Amino acid sequence: MAPVERESMEVDVLFVGAGPATLASALHLMNTVKARGVEPPTVLVIEKGASVGDHMLSGAVMNPRAIAELVPDFAQQGFPTEYVCDDASFWMYTRKLAVRSPFTPPNFQKKGYHVVSLSNVAKWLAEKCEAAGIEIYPGFAGDKLLIDGNRVVGVRIGDMGVGRDGKPKSNYQPGMDIFAKVTVLGEGVRGSLSKQLIDRFDLHGMNPQVYETGIKEIWRVKPENHKPGRVIHGALFPDFLKQFNGMWLYDMKDHLVSFGFVTMLDSKNPNNDPHRDAQGFKNTPFMRKLLDGGELVRYGAKAIPMGGLYAQPKLYVDGAMLVGDSAGMCNAFKLAGIHMAIKTGIMAAETIVDAIEAKDFSSVTLGGYAERYRKSWAYEEHREARNFHGSVDVSPLFAMGLNIPLMMITKGRGLIDPIRYEAGHKHMKKLSELPENDRTPPAVQFDGKITFSKEHLVQFSGTQHEVDQPSHLVVADTDLCRDVCSVEYGNPCEKFCPAAVYEMVPDNENPGKKKLFIHHENCVHCKTCDIADPYQVITWTPPEGGEGPDYTRM
């Protein structure tokens, strides 16, 4: 396309993504300038979803510590708590039995935590932000970082109205450039701009970031199966000894339950399939009894960063900061990231006010954020979990049987500190390296009542994308998929994507071979493909602003 004229605008502080990290940060920024008597800055939050909360997916049982720091009377101010947990338990399941553990491991002791819909929490925070004078632009997807020398100066929004052939359509609208003194990236897990920032400025942590993918379903269950205040975590035996997957179950209002299953993305097996794992788990008698006579309400998926402290990137550069999951702040040991996201947002906000006062948005002042983090309870919490993923990487048995208990006694140290490991996709073995009976995916029957195919479930994600646009899943070399990956790994994208986006279809130009077809319109923005592809040739980029899932109530 010929060079285009873009509109531009300038703000003092730009937040990318309207998640708990950025919304908390924006709100705290306004509260702090008021408290310190500083001239209020112009603040803009951009969000790729059609409205705030649409792309929020979480469990979620939330540690209230950070929200209480942000809004001390949050309960009185109508915070959207579903229930407060009064019964936290850990269960061990087999395909026939469900056994409640006589004690709940410390990482799953969630009594007093708030069960929430993160989508509703984001909406609640957004209302407070708007009341404080913060502008929020939903439907604005940040596409590129604007960098001047070694300084981040803003973000370019993605173009609208480009056809599948890459040519402008009649509704073509070039994305505007938004310039800011400081840009705060809170895009959540595997943020596309955050990835650019971390690579461009080499901000990588000591260990690579690693991930799991959570499948979430909301069901309306029979009243007798609904137990307000219940919070369950658990694992399927003996499978978890091979791969450290797990489940959750939280009750919500209106006889809804939030069920989720979390699958590690560092599997040796290219047939690893989070959707299949979740459906398989629903075949246990415990789940069948719970869901029998119930109704599926919503489906979705999202990756979770689980590397912890040693995988966290440097948090700032000249003109930019990373908050929440974009900075790997989720505590995967506790499956808890909302309080960390809010807390990092708070610390980033206080640092931005320092920068406004000093009129210096370079890393000299923004580095105060990392200082604050190192002195915070959030850092302490991460230190105590710092070798969690490393332990699991050695083996689930080593983790559960020895190192995690040792970590709890030694405040996170365990037997070895730090445990180093490789990126998850490097674990994947070629089919020829696997034992014969692991080479084909285990069959799961979908009964259409409790267990469902990806194609069926994706309709419950509410996702929508214009078909006539370039695929936002950019595959650098599709010949590799056809000629090499099909033989070496059996095209794992068909398995790990929980929304049936990738399909190998007959290649008429190469009889006997299959080529990649991308159903980009199904994408639920979980980021699994960007993470798990063994050749790292898939890049997730934001589609047109306003597209993607509708995670109302998730």
527 binds, among ligand SF4, ligand FAD, none (CB under 5 to 8 A by kind): ligand SF4
134 binds, among ligand SF4, ligand FAD, none (CB under 5 to 8 A by kind): none
51 binds, among ligand SF4, ligand FAD, none (CB under 5 to 8 A by kind): none
Give me the count of residues in the chain.
Answer: 554
Contact residues for ligand FAD (CB under 6 A)? 16-21, 46-49, 55-62, 118, 141-142, 186-189, 191-193, 214, 216, 260, 302, 304, 324-326, 330, 335-339, 341, 542
In the complex with ligand SF4, which residue's Cβ is closer, 115 or 526? 526
For the CB of residue 488, give the shortest distance to ligand FAD in the complex, in Å: 29
CA–CA separation, 312 and 307 (whole Å): 7
* 244-275 as b/e: b if 16+ CB within 10 A: bbbbbbbbbeebbbbbbbbbbbbbebbbbbbb
Tokens standing for residue 145: 């970082």
For the CB of residue 538, give the shortest distance to ligand SF4 in the complex, in Å: 7
For the CB of residue 551, give the shortest distance to ligand FAD in the complex, in Å: 9
In the complex with ligand FAD, which residue's Cβ is closer, 306 or 481? 306
Contact residues for ligand SF4 (CB under 6 A)? 473, 497-499, 501, 523-529, 540
Secondary structure of 498-534 in the HEC alphabet? CCCCEEEEECCCCCCCEEEEECHHHCCCCCHHHHHCC
In the complex with ligand FAD, which residue's Cβ is closer, 339 or 372? 339
For the CB of residue 274, give the shortest distance to ligand FAD in the complex, in Å: 10
For the CB of residue 81, give the shortest distance to ligand FAD in the complex, in Å: 13
User: Could you tell me which of 386, 415, 413 has the C-alpha nearest to residue 402?
Assistant: 415
Query: In 134-257, which ranges are continuous DSSP H helix?
Result: 192-200, 239-242
Using alpha carbons, list the distances in angstroms from residue 117 to 65, 122, 143, 234: 17, 9, 28, 21
* Residues sharing a CB contact under 8 Å with residue 196, sequence separation 6 or more, in sequence order: 144, 145
For the CB of residue 307, give the shortest distance to ligand FAD in the complex, in Å: 13
For the CB of residue 496, give the shortest distance to ligand FAD in the complex, in Å: 15
In the complex with ligand FAD, which residue's Cβ is closer, 193 or 504? 193
221 binds, among ligand FAD, ligand SF4, none (CB under 5 to 8 A by kind): none
Say which residue the tokens 């014969």 belong to.
436
17 binds, among ligand SF4, ligand FAD, none (CB under 5 to 8 A by kind): ligand FAD
For the CB of residue 442, give the shortest distance to ligand FAD in the complex, in Å: 23
In the complex with ligand SF4, which residue's Cβ is closer, 61 or 458? 458
Cα angle value 28/32/34 (rounded, 5°): 120
In the complex with ligand SF4, which residue's Cβ is closer, 282 or 525? 525
CB-neighbour burial class of residue 490 (10 A; exposed 0-12, middle 13-18, buried 19+): middle
In the complex with ligand FAD, which residue's Cβ is closer, 351 or 403? 351
335 binds, among ligand FAD, ligand SF4, none (CB under 5 to 8 A by kind): ligand FAD
User: Could you tell me which of 314, 310, 329 has the C-alpha nearest to residue 422?
Assistant: 310
For the CB of residue 464, give the shortest distance to ligand FAD in the complex, in Å: 15
Helices 118-131 and 20-36, axial angle in degrees (round to 10): 30
**Number of CB atoms found within 10 A of residue 452's CB:** 20
Tokens standing for residue 191: 């943020």
Amino acid identity of residue 353, one-letter, is: V
287 binds, among ligand SF4, ligand FAD, none (CB under 5 to 8 A by kind): none
Cα angle value 340/426/436 (rounded, 5°): 125
473 binds, among ligand FAD, ligand SF4, none (CB under 5 to 8 A by kind): ligand SF4
In the complex with ligand SF4, which residue's Cβ is closer, 14 or 529? 529
Say which residue the tokens 């632009």 belong to.
137
CA dihedral for 545, 546, 548, 554, sign (positive or negative): positive
529 binds, among ligand FAD, ligand SF4, none (CB under 5 to 8 A by kind): ligand SF4
For the CB of residue 325, give the shortest distance to ligand FAD in the complex, in Å: 4
What letter does residue 35 receive in the DSSP assignment? H
In the complex with ligand SF4, which residue's Cβ is closer, 275 or 339? 275
57 binds, among ligand SF4, ligand FAD, none (CB under 5 to 8 A by kind): ligand FAD
